[in-house]
């Protein structure tokens, strides 16, 4: 019987410039973290899930990449024509007045071709773009690209080997 080794993530909390662990600070919030104040573990295991198995684990429920993409897509400016023709559902405009609503990305749209863009695409006679000065949105897309790279589990293909004769 072949058993696969379980991956383990360990969370070490340190202050910048200080080599000592700061778990007492984390443990002082015992009811929030579920980590016992009496635990003398030097490491706390970070696990995916709703609850930790013991007082030496910190359980975290994260969003999926698909959920992050849906959140980003819901914040695209939608033209009134597309709403009227039911080509799209209301995006950020429908959520912006809700208390606590925070915009993750800003993808603008118009009929005219934009200027000073980071990226722009023409789709069904409308332009959608990210402004080149919008660092928050550019960072969000860079982070998504990093997540896609980390999530890629496919085998890397061997690139063709080219031999150049030397004379």
Judge if 88 and 140 occupy the same domain: yes
Judge if 17 and 43 occupy the same domain: yes
- Residue 165 in domain: no
- Residue 160 in domain: no
**Contacts of residue 55, Cβ cutoff 8 Å, sequence gap at least 6:** 34, 35, 36, 39
Judge if 45 and 83 occupy the same domain: no
Number of folded domains that form the chain? 2
Judge if 110 and 125 occupy the same domain: yes
Judge if 81 and 146 occupy the same domain: yes
Task: Report yes or no on whether pTM surpasses 0.85.
Answer: no
Judge if 50 and 77 occupy the same domain: no
The CA distance from 89 to 69, in Å, is 16
pLDDT of residue 40: 54
The CA distance from 13 to 131, in Å, is 37
- Residue 167 in domain: no
- Residue 26: is its pLDDT beyond 50? no
pLDDT in tens, 97-149: 777 777 889 999 999 999 999 999 999 889 999 999 999 999 999 998 888 88
Residue 11 bridge partners (DSSP):
44
Give the Cβ contact number of residue 120 at 10 Å. Answer: 16
- Residue 164 in domain: no
- Residue 106 in domain: yes
In this structure, the strands spanning 126-131 and 117-123 are antiparallel
Judge if 112 and 141 occupy the same domain: yes
- Residue 90 in domain: yes
Q: Report whether 33 contacts 55 (CB < 8 A).
A: no
Under DSSP, the state recorded for 87 is S
Judge if 117 and 56 occupy the same domain: no
Domain assignment of residue 129, given as a range = 65-151
Judge if 56 and 70 occupy the same domain: no
pLDDT in tens, 40-82: 555 677 778 878 788 777 777 777 888 888 888 888 988 888 8
Judge if 87 and 56 occupy the same domain: no
Judge if 83 and 19 occupy the same domain: no
- Residue 158 in domain: no
- Residue 19 in domain: yes
Q: Percent of the chain having pLDDT more than 90?
A: 23
Judge if 125 and 69 occupy the same domain: yes
């Amino acid at each position: 019987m072949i058993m696969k080794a379980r991956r383990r993530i360990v969370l070490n909390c340190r202050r910048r410039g200080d080599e000592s662990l700061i778990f007492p600070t984390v443990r002082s919030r015992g009811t929030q973290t579920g980590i016992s104040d009496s635990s003398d573990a030097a490491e706390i295991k970070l696990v995916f899930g709703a609850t930790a198995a013991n007082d030496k684990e910190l359980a975290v429920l994260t969003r999926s990449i698909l959920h992050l993409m849906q959140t980003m897509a819901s914040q695209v400016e939608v033209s009134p024509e597309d709403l009227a023709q039911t080509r799209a559902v209301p995006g950020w405009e429908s959520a912006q007045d809700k208390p606590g609503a925070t915009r993750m990305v800003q993808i603008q749209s118009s009929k005219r071709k934009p200027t000073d863009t980071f990226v722009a695409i023409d789709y069904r006679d409308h332009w959608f773009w990210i402004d080149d000065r919008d660092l928050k949105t550019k960072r969000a897309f860079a982070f998504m690209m990093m997540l896609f790279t980390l999530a890629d589990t496919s085998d890397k293909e061997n690139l063709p080997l080219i031999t150049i004769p030397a004379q």
